[in-house]
Amino acid sequence: MGHIGGNLSALDVLLHLHANVMGTEDLFVLSKGHGAGALYIALWSVGRINDAELQSFHKDGTHLGGHPVAGWHDGITFATGSLGHGLGLAAGAAMARRLDGKGGRIFCLLSDGECEEGSIWEALIFAHHQRLSNLVVLVDANGLQGFGSTGAVASLEPLLPRFAGFGLNVVEIDGHCSKALDAALARPCDGPSVIVLRTIKGRGVSFMEGRMEWHYLPLNERQYRQALEELAEPELADAEPGA
């Protein structure tokens, strides 16, 4: 199964959000749908997916597809296999919460390559115009996408002033640091906020880090064993989620 690199770039933030940030009223939308594996691990880590369900990942008859399947789990509200749609859905959910008088925040994770989709910017126009202060947009900026670097394919860098130009509350942080994420989330905002997460594709596995091909490639047995050994090293294994 591919998409391992992009799962590892997003895993720290998803673990920290689900374990330490989100409450029962909050909703998470995975707009970068190919990061589904990281979402399943985050839900499993807080007891919302069991071992048997996790072991069924990408097998016949599973609910745990390579992209999220909507409706079977309260932590997976939308199907987001096609990039560019999740933010519009998240903005709509944030608006619905306001109209219904309900609390909680909507967290939406994008990829930096996904930001090349025009629908992302249309959703931001709507979110800013409606002053959706209950919407938090997270951008997994690992610098790589399916056919190369984001800089080579269709560069949007620097991302921070692009988002700021829409009048949004935006900050850029180390996407693998939970303390930086907490500080960013604690900022007072009178509208939607955007957090650009500078991350490493394939983080924690030496032969994957920063390599575009791990957007797609599956692991062979030797690579799998090496990856497990590297991920079990003390500086990673003993770290708190997001550290």
Domains of the chain (ranges, CATH numbers): 4-146+160-230 (3.40.50.970)
Look up the pTM and report it.
0.92
pLDDT of residue 234: 63
pLDDT of residue 147: 86
Q: How many whole angstroms separate alpha carbon 10 and alpha carbon 1?
A: 17
Three-class DSSP labels, the chain: CCCHHHHHHHHHHHHHHHHHHCCCCCEEEECCHHHHHHHHHHHHHCCCCCHHHHHCCCCCCCCCCCCCCCCCECCECCCCCCCCCHHHHHHHHHHHHHHHCCCCCEEEEEECHHHHCHHHHHHHHHHHHCCCCCEEEEEEECCEECCEEHHHHHCCCCHHHHHHCCCCEEEEEECCCHHHHHHHHCCCCCCCEEEEEECCCCCCCCCCCCCHHHHCCCCCHHHHHHHHHHHCCHHHHCCCCCC
Please answer whether residues 184 and 136 qualify as being in contact, where contact means their C-beta atoms are separated by less than 8 angstroms. Answer: no
Please answer whether residues 15 and 92 qualify as being in contact, where contact means their C-beta atoms are separated by less than 8 angstroms. Answer: no
pLDDT of residue 238: 44
CA atoms within 13 A on the CB side of 21: 25
Instruction: Extract the residue ranges of the chain whose pLDDT is less than 70.
Output: 1, 234-243
User: What pLDDT, in 10s, does the model give residues 90-122?
Assistant: 999 999 999 999 999 999 999 999 999 999 999
Residues in the chain: 243
pLDDT of residue 242: 44
Please answer whether residues 66 and 1 qualify as being in contact, where contact means their C-beta atoms are separated by less than 8 angstroms. Answer: yes
User: What pLDDT, in 10s, does the model give residues 211-227?
Assistant: 999 988 999 999 999 99
pLDDT of residue 204: 95
pLDDT of residue 239: 53
Strand partners, 104: none
